[in-house]
Amino acid sequence: MDAQYKIAFILELGRALHRYGSPAHRLEGALESMASLLDVEIHVLSTPTSIILAFGPLTKQQSFLIRIEPGATNLGKLDRVDGIAESVAAEELSLEDAVAAIESIEEEPNALHAIWTSLAFPAVSAASALIMGGGYADMIVAGLSGVFVAVLALFLARRSAGGRLFEMSAAFVVGGIAHAGAVWFPGVSYNAAMLAGLITLVPGMTLTIAMTEIATRNLVSGTARLTSAAVVFLEILFGVAVSEQLLTHWIGMPPLVVLGSVPQWSVSLALLVSCLGAGALFRAHPRSFPLIVFTSIAAFYSARLGAHHLSGEIGACLGGFVAAAISNAYARLFNRSAMVNLIPSLLMLLPGSLGFRSLTSLWEQDVVGGIDTAFKMILVAISLVVGILVANAVILPRRSL
């Protein structure tokens, strides 16, 4: 088999895995495993914006740099790429055909129509309001915020210049809607409606992946991703703070509202909607939704059980362990990628809201409260990562993906 065909396939595989959302430690592991299978010596360095690959012995290396603009995770296409890699490993597909197949995936439409992905924003926000302890009024306001976030995602996120303003602009709109709703409509909690509206914006997944990469000694990628998460947190805080200052001047301060209780069946239904919405946000294939729902619910209630009997940090660790264990078991049984149901199942376990609360406290000059909340966020993120790593040690993944 010609060495150039092997190199071309590995390059295309790495570019596709990076583009569709594979973390550095999984991407590097997948490329190294494939290179070993094809009898190619390789060194890989993946960062959030590029991949550097060097082929051959140290004294005669052939190096390549692939520059990639970070994009949204697309689990449907990531699963397709994983299937092609598996076909090559099983010698069911030639390298030339595999390269052509991977290139064609980029031109294919997503597994879900764009309208379903757009509907996922208000669905997840509205459901999160109930899961976080809010009432039906908070759910309506958060859902309305999600509609505007979806509109901004359609018109800003697709443009390079507008995409850089997406989080800040969306946070400004969410903060304004939550503020106005709390002032004009009785029973609406500003904090509950705002945090639920921001749930699809806060970089909790980026933070968790960064901590995982650092824990797996991918220090360059992990540090860069951690910095990226911090910048996004600041952008969101700025957007919310500006809207709060303006609307406080125009319509007054929102009143303090004591959160009420809703029937348990409402929370359970909201959790189901949130699980389906998470699958749509990450563009998973519809066939993956039943397992995503099962994994998400199991991880969520495991985390709540651990938090109720022990602490929030132990709860996050238990939730991460259950999510990763189920995902790895599924991957081994059905020879599929574990990431397809692992990533959506972590959405309700992520510490993004804690990070935003920490920055809000610091903005309000509550330094002690801000540092305390930030420390809790870090502990929850680390606990979640530890749970995932322990699950990977107990139930070995099928392979790197």
Instruction: Check residue 218 and give left, alpha or beta (phi > 0: left; psi -120 to 50: alpha).
Output: beta
Residue 399 confidence (pLDDT): 61
| pLDDT of res. 355 | 64
- How much is the pLDDT for 401? 60
pLDDT value, residue 363: 67
Give 205-234 pLDDT, tens digit per residue: 888 888 889 988 898 999 999 899 889 988
> Can you give the chain as a three-state secondary structure string?
CCHHHHHHHHHHHHHHHHHCCCCHHHHHHHHHHHHHHCCCCEEEEEECCEEEEEECCHHHCEEEEEECCCCCCCHHHHHHHHHHHHHHHCCCCCHHHHHHHHHHHHHCCCCCCHHHHHHHHHHHHHHHHHHCCCCHHHHHHHHHHHHHHHHHHHHCCCCHHHHCCHHHHHHHHHHHHHHHHHHHCCCCCHHHHHHHHCCCCCCHHHHHHHHHHHHCCCHHHHHHHHHHHHHHHHHHHHHHHHHHHHHHHHHCCCCCCCCCCCCHHHHHHHHHHHHHHHHHHCCCCHHHHHHHHHHHHHHHHHHHHHHHHCCHHHHHHHHHHHHHHHHHHHHHHHCCCCHHHHHHHCHHHCCHHHHHHHHHHHHCCCHHHHHHHHHHHHHHHHHHHHHHHHHHHHCCCCCCC
Residue of 329, 327, 239 whose CA lies nearest to 288: 327
pLDDT at residue 141, rounded to an integer? 95
Q: How far apart are CA 392 and CA 140, in angstroms?
A: 39
Q: Report, as an integer, the average pLDDT of 372-384.
A: 83
Please provide the average confidence, as pLDDT, over all residues in the chain.
Answer: 87
The yes-or-no verdict on residue 34 having pLDDT over 80 is: yes
pLDDT value, residue 275: 93
Q: What pLDDT, on a 0 to 100 scale, did the predictor assign at position 161? A: 54
- What pLDDT, on the 0 to 100 scale, is given for residue 350? 78
Please state the domain extents for the chain: 3-107, 114-283, 288-401
Q: Residue 158's pLDDT is what?
A: 61
Give me the mean pLDDT over the 287-307 stretch. 92
How does residue 58 score in pLDDT terms, banded at 50, 70 and 90? confident
Given a cut of 80, whether residue 156 has pLDDT beyond it is no
pLDDT in tens, 185-203: 988 989 889 989 999 988 8
pLDDT tens, 355-375?
Answer: 667 767 766 667 677 777 778
Q: For residue 1, is pLDDT > 60?
A: no
**Average of pLDDT values for 153-181?**
82
Instruction: Assess whether pLDDT exceeds 70 at residue 109.
Output: yes
Q: Which of 69-78, 96-105, 141-150, 351-360 has the lowest mean pLDDT?
A: 351-360
